[in-house]
Amino acid sequence: MNNQAQNQPGTITVAQASKLLMISPRRLRQLAADGHIPPAVRGRYPLAATVQGYLSFLKESIERSAANENAGLASAKAKEIRLRLAQREAQLIDTIDVEAFHKLSSDLYRRETAGLGASVSRDPIVANLIDRQLASALDRFDARFAEALPKLKRRADPLAIASDD
């Protein structure tokens, strides 16, 4: 190669281009192979076109990265919305289901505690007292539920019940 070809105006060597763009010679060749910068002619790259091509490549990379980030953010927001909706739907229970569950619970408690007094004491007076107290407690349980249900249906706080303890 003669000295004139090596010092062609407006061109730079692989080493010079790599140093100027702060990339390795291998990366420079990859960018040329991918069409981001013009290929070398006799081992030299056109200076202006190489710099412009590299700047365009960087700009496109930044835009792709931002688009991916925005897509990721949109995906995360959509996921958050889906999770919140699922949580709300799981928390909202039909009052008919609440009433059915209360009836089931109340009946279960009454069956399980029926005759408990006799299993605790042989004294019929004490056994009867225990059974009456349990029945009274379950009656209060049902009464408090009956007081809370209209509030629940109005979406008011059903737990804001004045206790008579």
Which uninterrupted H or E stretch holds 17?
helix 14-21
Please give the pLDDT value at position 1.
47
Identify the bridge partners of residue 41 per DSSP, sorted by sequence position.
44
| Alpha carbon distance 11, 7 (integer Å) | 8
Helical H segments across 22-158, by residue range = 25-33, 47-91, 95-113, 116-120, 124-153
pLDDT tens digits along 139-152: 999 998 888 888 87
Task: Return phi, psi of residue 43, to 5°.
Answer: 80, 10
Tokens of residue 130, six digits: 């225990």
| Alpha carbon distance 8, 80 (integer Å) | 59
For residue 47, which of 81, 72, 83, 19 has the smallest C-alpha distance?
Answer: 19
| Alpha carbon distance 104, 36 (integer Å) | 73
Question: Are the C-beta atoms of 45 and 6 separated by less than 8 Å?
Answer: no
Give the model's confidence band at 164: pLDDT under 50 very low, under 70 low, under 90 confident, else very high: very low
pLDDT tens digits along 52-100: 999 999 999 888 888 888 888 888 888 888 878 876 766 666 778 888 8
pLDDT tens digits along 4-56: 545 688 999 999 999 999 999 999 999 999 999 999 999 999 999 999 999 99
